[in-house]
Chain A
Amino acid sequence: MKFETPAGVNPIDQQKVIGQPASRLEGPLKTTGTATYAYEYNRAAPKHAYGYVVGAAIAKGQIRRIDRTKAKAAPGVLAIVTAADVGQLPPGQFYVDRLLAGPAVDHYHQAVAVVVAKTFEQARAAAALLKVTYIATKGAFDLAAAKDAAPLPKPGPYSGPSQTNVGDFKGAFAAAPVKLDATYTTPDQSHAMMEPHATMAHWEGDKLTCWCSLQQLNWGARDLGTILGIPKENIRLISAYIGGGFGGKGTALSDIVLASLAARAAGRPVKVALPRPLIFNNTTHRPATIQRIRLGATADGTITAIGHESWSGNIPGGGTESTTASTKLLYAGANRFTELRLAVLNLAEGNAMRAPGEATGMMALEIAMDELAEKLQMDPVAFRIKNDTQVDPEHPGRPFSSRKLVECLQTGADRFGWSKRVAKPGTVQEGQWLIGVGVAAAIRGAPVMTSAARVRLNRDGIVTVETDMTDIGTGSYTIIGQTAAEMLGVGLDKVVVKLGDSTFPQSPGSGGQWGAASATSGVYAACLKLREAVAKALGLNPEEAQFANGQVLAGNRHYALGEAAKAAELVAEDAMTYGTLARQYAQDTFGAHFVEVGVNRYTHEIRVRRMLAVCHAGRILNPKTARSQVIGAMTMGVGAALMEHLVVDKQVGFFVNHDLAGYEVPVHADIPHQEVVLLEGLDPTMSPMKAKGIGELGLVGVAAAIANAVYNATGVRVRDYPITLDKLLGKVSLI
């Protein structure tokens, strides 16, 4: 089914099941510890062995020699796999890192070998006996030092152009009566998902099955096929449950590649989980940025010039952190300039992490907006509203399909009590705490991608959905079940959802905030086909058939839904594909974040006291799972604002704090009351679901709102994330 014109009224609009706050279908499995994760498929592949990955001890150079004598002789060892055994592996498409070092080492903890043994303990002990010697060469690890020589890169498949120019930015900025020119930095960050990267690989002849933890199974099969040099058709990937990914499990990484190679070498199934201390330097991360923002406005607060330049680094072949994406779309302004530059750094690969580019860019832009509002002596909410635009500012002929930023800001201001804000910073105190409030806008693209599904109906009226969509903790199972239930007029209890198997019809997977809107639309298409098949089987006119309460009705005839499958199971499969609406309309999601912080007047510890997010993302498919996505994202925003920081040792060239004691993410005690308001409003240009993704929107802007609140509390403007107490000490003037 091709979606080419805005959707009219359709069965989803009934919202009997869709739009209801259904609890997660797989929730009981997860709360009882019975959902099976990649590393736990012990019965599916009996007599499996264990692989332990050895990471490179240097950041850049060559492997001189690997002495495997002792490791090979260690108890239980079945195989040792290095590049000397399997040759140089080509990179995949989405992640470009080479997943097995040798002879060159491209970054610290790049995999050098996998040691396979009968038990995990034997594999780990033997791995420590592998003696690897290196020839280290000098590398580049310092973004600030590499910045000035960084070229404009070719745009990657998921980033926009590296440079955009509209009007006369330079002239308008020079002429602006009120302006800001400031530089912000964001650090390298890690996804730090709970479930480590893990795979169990099992060969049967030349067919490979991997139980793995991947967000996009189509990319996974494609990239694993490329890396191993086998047809992707010979690969079956199963990722039924995923303990978080955040963009760090998009496609094949070292666990799946090395488990596959190890299983082949050992002649039996092998499972590999990356140990936590290896994950931070072995896998991908959100790269650090340096961002210069220039804003010019007239005295009444009309923005006349917006400039955003950004620098990030990556391994050769890697992409930019596209921080300017939001700046292109968020505010009006006739004269605009954006530029992304990319330095070569010999750290681990920088790649997607939740709202890539947008989360990072908005950490800077939304502080800059707060700074300019202050210069204009305008309320920061009013300043943002004044510069709203209903068209893509770089292409004014292209309207937003739906954009409720102003409503988000106004609703949020009302709910939060923004009018009580004291504009003068450092003036509100409660006991030992300096109190401040901050606001930031949120914007995140709302892509939809081709997605297919298969739907089955049996004689008991049970509807089974199959698609290779994944659920990374987001609620995919539930919203897909709700879609099928709504389309076929049954309750959720009559729907079985099967996900995460690459032999199922292809979806775009979980990522880029496209999963929910795309996958449910694919299910919609398949369900439409099934409705036709049902009507036909019952001898009804498909145009007239109504599906409700487990019944199919047409005229004065009605049947139980299962009747249609009495003779044989009915199966329908279809994909939703898309026309040009995404080019005609700017399709984005919007929000506003309001935050109150307390800063301890003595220690300058920063604690968030309350948070409010107002979001607009088209139809909300399930307000409970949507809210969970947003509060999870807000929590991640607290981490980004206040603590998350992969610290680069610029001498050795690696992320030093490579475990969860050193890389701090928020704990429960850091997270205060979080309120989420989901604004209503369908978007018929998206798909028949009229929905957009929301999982990444909730993160964008949060860190800046916190930064602005810290400023309001203390009068100290910190432009370098994370905002930690050492950046405030000595600068806060106490009343």
Chain B
Amino acid sequence: MQTFTYERVRTPAEAAAAAARTPGAKFLAGGTNLLDLMKLEIETPAHIIDVGKVGLDKIEPTPAGGLRIGALVTNTDLADHRTVRRDYGLLSRALLAGASGQLRNKATTAGNLLQRTRCPYFYDTNQRCNKREPGSGCAAIAGYSRQLGIIGTSDACIATHPSDMAVAMRALDAEVETVKANGTTRTIPLAQFYRLPGQTPHLETTLEKNELITAVLLPPPVGGVHIYQKVRDRSSYAFALVSVGAILQQDGSGRIAVGGVAPRPWRVETAEKLLPAGAKAFTAQLLQGARPTKENAYKLALVENTVAAVLNEGKH
């Protein structure tokens, strides 16, 4: 871990301003990912801005009938929240499918969205990785890629975004609320929040430099059956090989976002029109243009099968 300076701020605006003052600064919230990466010198911030005490830990109803989830609400509290469990069951289930109780107690809503990939080459600083060290190449594409992405990837990077929560948020049409260093705020639909890697896989979101997430907004509940099915080699404490977050309506319509396959939660709204036709037709459209490696081509079938399982469960 490299030496860094540290400050604690009191308000979101102060945080963004502090970041603007100090180049190379990082915001620290739960620390469950950032601190690990700093110990391995994958992240080497010169300055840490601790936003742990800026508030932002409330879950409140919005005037529109949705929910405003503070950036610092822990994964545990969010999964356990009465309204979330009743109206946004998908979100609660996705959260509980991720990590462990201890990690969920510390991990925050914004931090979860911003967690880095779990590609093993990203984690080993001796290996080539364009995401960690732009221009160094990608050792994963011709290496061990069984768990990596099949769509939305590029020749520079095939890493996936590891979050379960983000998959649910994407299906729920969540929006990310932010504040910039100049004090202005904006909301970014989650659909536009993550960038695809292209030739710049180190740039992962559309956040501007020093922009701080203050909340995640959920639109009013849409009802339906909420299912999160996460597929993995062991029963718990593993990242998804594939996960399917679904909200299915009685008329056969629905929304599905998929995790474990792409650099962001993968959702194709136009494909959802094919849901009444079944898993095969939907998945073919969802994964059109997929470019799997030999090692992860199984994910094409796995997505289809898991979607089939979810559609089947939705009927019962």
What is A's interface to B at a CB cutoff of 8 Å?
A: 57-58, 121, 124-125, 128, 277, 432, 600, 602-605, 607, 642-643, 647, 649, 651-652, 656-659, 661-662, 664, 666-670, 722, 724-726, 729-730
The distance in angstroms between the C-alpha atoms of A663 and B229, with both chains bound, is: 22
Give chain A residues whose Cβ lies under 8 Å from the Cβ of B120: 656-658, 662
Pull 27 A–B residue pairs with CB atoms less than 8 Å apart, ordered by A. A125-B3, A128-B2, A602-B306, A603-B229, A603-B231, A603-B302, A603-B305, A604-B305, A607-B235, A643-B233, A649-B139, A652-B127, A656-B120, A656-B144, A657-B120, A659-B123, A661-B118, A661-B238, A664-B234, A664-B238, A667-B236, A669-B235, A670-B235, A670-B236, A725-B231, A726-B146, A726-B298
The distance in angstroms between the C-alpha atoms of A194 and B309, with both chains bound, is: 36
Partner of A726, one of B39, B302, B308: B302
Which 4 pairs between the two chains have the least Cβ-Cβ distance? A602-B309, A669-B235, A726-B298, A57-B126
Name the residue of chain B whose CB is nearest to the CB of A606: B233
Partner of A642, one of B146, B233, B241, B301: B233
Do A649 and B309 touch (CB < 8 A)?
no
Name the residue of chain B whose CB is nearest to the CB of A661: B118
The distance in angstroms between the C-alpha atoms of A652 and B141, with both chains bound, is: 13
Give chain A residues whose Cβ lies under 8 Å from the Cβ of B3: 125
Question: For window 278-316 of chain B, which residues contact chain A by CB distance below 8 Å?
Answer: 298, 301-302, 305-306, 308-309, 312
Partner of A277, one of B1, B124, B143: B124
Give chain A residues whose Cβ lies under 8 Å from the Cβ of B231: 603, 605, 725
Question: For window 114-167 of chain B, which residues contact chain A by CB distance below 8 Å?
Answer: 118, 120-121, 123-124, 126-127, 139, 142-144, 146
Give chain B residues whose Cβ lies under 8 Å from the Cβ of A664: 233-234, 238
Number of interface residues of B (CB under 8 A): 38
Give chain A residues whose Cβ lies under 8 Å from the Cβ of B123: 277, 659
Give chain B residues whose Cβ lies under 8 Å from the Cβ of A58: 126
Do B234 and A670 touch (CB < 8 A)?
yes
The distance in angstroms between the C-alpha atoms of A500 and B83, with both chains bound, is: 56
How many residue pairs link A and B with beta carbons under 8 A? The number is 92
The distance in angstroms between the C-alpha atoms of A641 and B142, with both chains bound, is: 26
What is B's interface to A at a CB cutoff of 8 Å?
A: 1-3, 39-41, 118, 120-121, 123-124, 126-127, 139, 142-144, 146, 229, 231-239, 241-242, 298, 301-302, 305-306, 308-309, 312
Give chain A residues whose Cβ lies under 8 Å from the Cβ of B1: 121, 124-125
Do B124 and A725 touch (CB < 8 A)?
no
Give chain A residues whose Cβ lies under 8 Å from the Cβ of B229: 603
Name the residue of chain A whose CB is nearest to the CB of B142: A651
Do A603 and B309 touch (CB < 8 A)?
yes
The distance in angstroms between the C-alpha atoms of A140 and B110, with both chains bound, is: 45
Partner of B301, one of A432, A659, A662, A729: A729
Give chain B residues whose Cβ lies under 8 Å from the Cβ of A726: 146, 298, 302
Give chain B residues whose Cβ lies under 8 Å from the Cβ of A125: 1-3
Give chain B residues whose Cβ lies under 8 Å from the Cβ of A662: 120
Do A666 and B234 touch (CB < 8 A)?
yes
Give chain B residues whose Cβ lies under 8 Å from the Cβ of A605: 231-233
The distance in angstroms between the C-alpha atoms of A604 and B139, with both chains bound, is: 29
The distance in angstroms between the C-alpha atoms of A651 and B121, with both chains bound, is: 13
Give chain A residues whose Cβ lies under 8 Å from the Cβ of B236: 667-670
Partner of B139, one of A57, A642, A652: A652
Do A124 and B39 touch (CB < 8 A)?
yes
* Shortest Cβ gap from A224 to chain B (Å): 29
* Shortest Cβ gap from B40 to chain A (Å): 7
Give chain B residues whose Cβ lies under 8 Å from the Cβ of A124: 1, 39
Give chain B residues whose Cβ lies under 8 Å from the Cβ of A656: 120-121, 124, 143-144
Partner of B308, one of A128, A602, A658, A670: A602
The distance in angstroms between the C-alpha atoms of A81 and B266, with both chains bound, is: 49
The distance in angstroms between the C-alpha atoms of A649 and B298, with both chains bound, is: 19
Most buried by A among B3, B39, B233, B308: B233
* Shortest Cβ gap from B140 to chain A (Å): 9
* Shortest Cβ gap from A288 to chain B (Å): 14
Give chain A residues whose Cβ lies under 8 Å from the Cβ of B118: 661
Most buried by A among B41, B229, B235, B238: B235
Give chain B residues whose Cβ lies under 8 Å from the Cβ of A121: 1
The distance in angstroms between the C-alpha atoms of A651 and B137, with both chains bound, is: 14
Give chain B residues whose Cβ lies under 8 Å from the Cβ of A661: 118, 238-239
* Shortest Cβ gap from B190 to chain A (Å): 25
Partner of B233, one of A647, A652, A668, A725: A725
Question: Known pairs A658-B120, A669-B234. 14 more at Cβ < 8 A?
Answer: A58-B126, A277-B124, A602-B305, A603-B302, A603-B306, A605-B231, A642-B234, A651-B142, A652-B127, A656-B120, A670-B236, A722-B233, A725-B302, A730-B301
Give chain B residues whose Cβ lies under 8 Å from the Cβ of A730: 301
Give chain B residues whose Cβ lies under 8 Å from the Cβ of A652: 127, 139, 143
* Shortest Cβ gap from B191 to chain A (Å): 27
Do B143 and A649 touch (CB < 8 A)?
yes
The distance in angstroms between the C-alpha atoms of A647 and B2, with both chains bound, is: 30
* Shortest Cβ gap from A119 to chain B (Å): 12
Name the residue of chain B whose CB is nearest to the CB of A124: B1
Name the residue of chain B whose CB is nearest to the CB of A75: B3
The distance in angstroms between the C-alpha atoms of A344 and B238, with both chains bound, is: 34
